[in-house]
Amino acid sequence: MSSKESNGTAWTWYDGKWHSGNPMLMGPMNHAPWLGSCVFDGGRAFEGVAPDLDLHCRRIVKSAESFGLKIVKSAGEIEELTREGIAKFPKGAELYLRPMFWAADGFVDVDPESTQFSVSVYDAPLPKPNGFSVTVSPFRRPSFEYAPTDAKAACHYPNSARTMRDAKKRGFDNAVMLDPLGNVAELATANIWLVKDGVAQTPVPNGTFLNGITRQRVIALLRNAGMPVEERTLRWEDFLAADEVFSTGNYGKVVPITRVDTRSLQPGPVMAKARELYWDYAHSGR
């Protein structure tokens, strides 16, 4: 039994009611664990706020549609249920918010009429902004022709898992993944940025990775603050020569990268400004 099951720090809404711990929702005959029809999204609640929760709820609906699943809960209904789950925890708790759709039946393709839905809310402390190390991965992100890259889907994560496993064996915390053409796509777990001569740069979305919600938010916040931001094609060599490198993503929001291969970096002023702007936005109620 996991700690979440035993100490009540997770709640899941499924089939009309809330369940504590880790309820068993799928069996071996279900399509999702057998043939991979599970899509999900991840929001965050912390310090009494849940920034961009509406956007995360809209995105999971799009992910479900891309898999041919039936939309049994609208984005608005998902947001309402998620806020119910947040209210089960002390105000200010650091939580992960995870709605999911999946098929219970079908052979290869899903049976849309068998679509199931849940939303889980659980304790997940935000990582400290102390920085982490990265290298380049031998494993690449696929393009849309090879995988359903327009969806946030569980089937993508074995590729991320082997990327992380390989990086950790080599003494790094995470890894930069390239696209099929050898350009930088993202990290195994988040979007990636560099800063050169005061200009924040991040890979342009090209169908090999999700245009992250936190990524989009940080682009808008920096630009509104008068800071130059470029979405462009980037190579691994650009990161090796960068003044700053950092990540954006739902799990950690804005976090510095302090080692790129053998090169050590300090958390920089653009990253610090991006993090400050994001936290101000999160608490603004906009």
* Contacts of residue 225, Cβ cutoff 8 Å, sequence gap at least 6: 273, 277
Helix (H) / strand (E) containing 129: none
Report the C-alpha gap between 122 and 2 in whole angstroms.
Answer: 12
Give the strand pairing for 199-203 and 191-196: antiparallel
C-alpha 202/C-alpha 181 separation (Å) is 17
Q: Which of 74, 92, 123 represents a domain boundary (last residue)?
A: 123
Query: b or e along 212-232 (b: 16 or more beta carbons within 10 Å of the residue's beta carbon)?
Result: bbbbebbbebbeeeebebeee
119 and 220 fall within a common domain: no
What CATH number corresponds to the domain at position 277? 3.20.10.10
When divided into structural domains, the chain yields a total of 2
195 contacts: CB under 8 Å, gap ≥ 6: 201, 242, 243, 244, 245, 246, 268, 270, 271
User: Where among 97, 123, 149 does a domain terminate?
Assistant: 123
154 and 230 together in one domain: yes
Whether residues 181 and 257 fall in one domain: yes
Residues 253 and 209 in one domain: yes
Token code pair at residue 126: 């935000």
10-residue block means of pLDDT along the chain (286 residues)? 51 97 94 97 97 98 98 98 98 97 97 98 96 98 96 97 98 98 98 98 97 98 98 98 98 98 97 98 88
pLDDT for position 247: 98
Same domain, 82 and 221: no
Going 261 to 202 to 200 to 132, the CA torsion angle's sign is negative
- Same domain? For 178 and 236 the reply is yes
The answer to pTM > 0.85 is: yes
- In terms of domains, do 43 and 162 share one? no
Measured distance CA(131)–CA(280) in Å, rounded:
21
Q: Which of 123, 150, 169 is a domain's end point?
A: 123
Does 219 lie in the same domain as 158? yes
Range of the domain at 75: 3-123
59, two tokens: 């995105």
Strand partners, 264: 259
Task: Indicate which CATH number applies to the domain containing 51.
Answer: 3.30.470.10
Question: Does one domain contain both 69 and 189?
Answer: no
272 and 152 in a common domain? yes
User: Contact at 8 Å (CB) between 176 and 194?
Assistant: no
Give the per-residue pLDDT at 285. Answer: 76
Residues 144 and 233 in one domain: yes
The residues near 155 (Cβ < 8 Å, ≥ 6 apart) are 36, 38, 147, 148
Shared-domain flag, residues 179 and 97 = no
Name the phi and psi angles at 260, rounded to 5. Answer: -120, 105
